Amino acid sequence: MTIELRYRVVDVFSDRPLAGNALCVVLDPCPEPVMSAIAREVNLSETTFPVVIAKGEYEMRIFTPSVELPFAGHPSLGTAWVLGPGTWTQHTQGATVTVEADSDGAVMTQPDPELERVDDDGVARALGLPGVDGAYLARAGGIAHLLVPTSAPLEGLHPDPAAVEAVTRRLGGGGLAPVRRIDDGTLHARYFVPGWGVAEDPGTGSAAGPIGILARRLWGTSADVVVRQGDEIGRPCRIRVHAEEGAVRVGGGVTSSAQGNFTL
């Protein structure tokens, strides 16, 4: 038996196609054994499989090319945008969030992160940085990130993928995110996550909220900041963050770049 599955590819955290963080949204009900295979075929940071269960409400599963995630940021924004303008309640394994979508993009609520300072031994070496100002494990929505504040420029990093994977596994994070303050309203971040089958993620919405909260605590940055990410790999992302505990929001532009069918 042949099945046809409609899909759309959208670019999140950008106001133009072929920039930002690309996402594949599969629009038709997909057999579970096929989900991971489609994510490997597409080979983007994430592929989503939403199912609308009521007016303004859907359940969703999220896959990287190698693992299933309980929650993620740019898949939440991009999927709601594809499903249509309005306010959506999104359910994933790790969190239930509200996503508001309009013609230009989307913004979502985020659970408050739990931030724990952890041992930073080996972190600077793994990233190729001259030094770091600590390392913090940020947990929210069933997912964990290792945030690494630093005053060193991030543009020319040459991380060691094996060392990055080893240090993130040791400290319990999914990926390693060095962060630098540019000014009170702008942060520069990169996100390396070889353990999920993604060497470098262009724009990490699930980490952006914790990054904004940590930056306020460490550097006194504004409640509303823009996180710059992805420029170094040709996929510039601009992530808008409202970093207020109890009211964390993350958003950005979304544009459409492709659509078609899987024939399986």
CB 146, CB 115: distance < 8 Å: no
Which residues touch 55 (CB under 8 Å, ≥6 apart)?
A: none
pTM of the complete model: 0.97
Q: What is the pLDDT along the chain (264 residues), one digit of tens a residue?
A: 899 999 999 999 999 999 999 999 999 999 999 999 999 999 999 999 999 999 999 999 999 999 999 999 999 999 999 999 999 999 999 999 999 999 999 999 999 999 999 999 999 999 999 999 999 999 999 999 999 999 999 999 999 999 999 999 999 999 999 999 999 999 999 999 998 888 999 999 999 999 999 999 999 999 999 999 999 999 999 999 999 999 999 999 999 999 999 999
H/E segment holding residue 102 = none
Single out the residue of 261, 250, 264 nearest to residue 21, CA to CA.
250
The SS3 call for residue 195 is: helix
Check residue 58 and give its pLDDT: 98
Catalytic positions are: 46
The SS3 call for residue 200 is: strand
Domains and CATH numbers, the chain: 4-109+252-263 (3.10.310.10), 114-250 (3.10.310.10)
Which residues touch 232 (CB under 8 Å, ≥6 apart)?
A: 154, 155, 157, 190, 200
